[in-house]
Amino acid sequence: GGRSYRHFVPLDYTLITDYGKSVVQSVSPTPDEIAMKSSTLRRITEICNNLVPGSQIIPFGSLVSGFATKGADMDLIFAHDSLHPQPFSHESNIPVRLANEFLKRGFEVDLLIRTRVPILKIKTPSNELGSRPGSPSAQETLKEDLDEEPWPENISCDIGFKAHLGITNSYFFRTYSQCDSRFREMVLFIKQWSKNRDLNSPYFGTLSSYGYVLMVAHFLINIVKPPVLPNLQLIPPEPDTPESELRQDGFDIWYFKDIAKITSGELLPGGKNEMGLGQLIYEFFQYFTTNFNFVSEVVTIRSLGGVMYKQHKGWTSARERVGETTTYQDRYLLALEDPFEITHNVGRTCGGPGVRRIRGEMQRAAQIIRKISTPVAPESPALAA
Ligand code: 3AT
Ligand code: MG
C-alpha cells in the first residue's frame, strides 16, 4: 500500500526551506537597526575614551558573530592596558564613574557589583515624554543638558570589565558564519524555535542561545555528510603563529582564519554539501532525536568526527565545584563542550525535565516536517483521477 511506499519516497523540503527562510528574514535586524547600533557603539566608545584616555570598547556576542536577532542587546568589554596594576581600585573606580556618565545622559543604568567582575547594564533613553502631559519623564529629569544628539531609543548594552574567552568564541563563530550562509540561517532558525517552544531559559533549566549555537555547529561540522563546514580547529597553525593566537587563559584557542581558503572548498575533500536550509533543519532534528545519545555522548566542535563520550571527559555524575564566591552545581545531563574552554559544560544549566522537553520538542519538530514534506504518492486518488 501507499504507506510503506511513501516511507521510501524522498522528502520534498521546499515548504520547510521557504518557512525557514521567512523565519530568518523576520528575526533578522533591519539595516536601520544595525546602523543605529554602530553609531551607539561609536558614541559609547567616545564616552569611555573621554573618561579613560586610551581605553577601548571591545564588542563580542551576537553583535560580532552575526547571530543577533531584532532588538538583541550589545555585549561589550571595557578594556585599557593601564599603567596602573589596579584599575578598579577604590580611588579610580571606573565602573562607577562610567555608570555616572550614562546616568547624566538619561540612560537606565544598573551596576552589578556582586559578580566577580562588575557588569554595567545600560539602556539608551527612551525619548517619549512621561505619561502625564506637561510633566517631564523620569529620564528627562535625570538628563543633564549636554547638548548632544538624541540617542537611538531602547538599545541595551552589557559592559564587562575583563577580557575573556567570550570575545574569542564570538570571532570564532563569526569566521564560521562567513564560511557558509547556512550556518547563520540555521542558528537564527533554531534560536527562534527554542524561544517559541520555551526551551531557551538557562535560569529555568534549559539551554542558552550559545548552547544552541554549539549544537548547530557540531551538526554542520562533524555530523552531516558531506559536512557544510570544515573543522577549523584541526588545521595546524603555521610554525610562526604568535602565542596570542594559540593560547589564552591556559586554553588552546587556535583555529584557521583564512576565509578565502576556507570558502574555496579545498578544505572539504568530501565535496560540497548542497542541501537546502529545510533539509538541514530536518536532519538536525533527526540526528538529535535518533542518533545522538544524550546519556553517554558529548556535543563537541573541536574533536575529529565529533564523537566524544562523557566517560572520556569524566563528565559522569553531578558534583559540586567551589568557586570564588559561590558553589556551583555541575550537571552533565546534557553535555556540550565549549570549543575553547573544554572543561566547561555549556549544557550544565539543563536539568532532567529540561532535557526531556528539549528532546520531546525536537521529536515533535521532526514529525511536523516529515508530515509537510512527504510528497503526495502517485497512486493517491487525487492524482489517479
Ligand atoms: P543574544 O542575541 O544576546 O540572545 P548572544 O550570542 O549575544 O545572544 P549572550 O548575550 O547570552 O548571547 O552572550 C554573549 C556572548 O558570551 C556569547 C558568547 O560568545 C559568550 N557566552 C555566552 N554564554 C556562554 C557560555 N555559557 N560559555 C562561554 N561563552 C558564553
Ligand atoms: Mg547578547
pLDDT tens profile 165-184: 999 999 999 999 999 999 99
Q: How far is CA 303 from CA 36, 183, 188, 280, 307, in A?
A: 39, 19, 24, 21, 7
Cα of 339 from ligand 1 centre, angstroms: 13
Any alpha helices (H) in 66-155, and if so which ranges? 94-103, 138-142
- pLDDT (0 to 100) of residue 2: 45
62 lines ligand 1 (CB under 6 A): yes
346 lines ligand 1 (CB under 6 A): yes
Domains of the chain in sequence order? 29-160 (3.30.460.10), 180-373 (1.10.1410.10)
Q: What are phi and psi of 62, to 5 degrees?
A: -65, -20
Cα of 236 from ligand 2 centre, angstroms: 31
Cα of 67 from ligand 2 centre, angstroms: 9
Q: Which of 28, 62, 193, 215 to mutate to test the pocket of ligand 1 (most atoms within 8 A of CB)?
A: 62
CB neighbour class for 94 (10 Å; exposed up to 12, middle 13-18, buried from 19): buried
Q: For the segment 14-36, what is each residue's pLDDT rounded down to a tens digit?
A: 999 999 999 999 999 999 999 99
Render each residue's pLDDT in the chain as its tens digit; 385 residues: 445 555 567 999 999 999 999 999 999 999 999 999 999 999 999 999 999 999 999 999 999 999 999 999 999 999 987 655 455 555 468 999 999 999 999 999 999 988 888 999 999 998 765 445 556 665 666 677 778 889 999 999 999 999 999 999 999 999 999 999 999 999 999 999 999 999 999 999 999 999 999 999 999 999 999 999 999 999 999 999 999 999 999 999 999 999 999 999 899 988 999 999 999 999 999 999 999 999 999 999 999 877 799 999 999 877 677 777 776 667 899 999 999 999 999 999 999 999 999 999 999 999 999 999 999 776 666 666 5
202 lines ligand 1 (CB under 6 A): no
pTM of the model: 0.90
Closest residue (by CA) to atom 24 of ligand 1?
A: 210
Tell me what ipTM this predicted complex has. 0.95
Cα of 291 from ligand 2 centre, angstroms: 31
Residue with cell 510528497: 375
337 lines ligand 1 (CB under 6 A): no
Cα distance between residue 55 and residue 218, in whole Å: 36
- pLDDT (0 to 100) of residue 234: 95
- pLDDT (0 to 100) of residue 1: 41
Instruction: Name which of 250, 214, 231 is nearest 338 in CA terms.
Output: 214
338 lines ligand 1 (CB under 6 A): yes
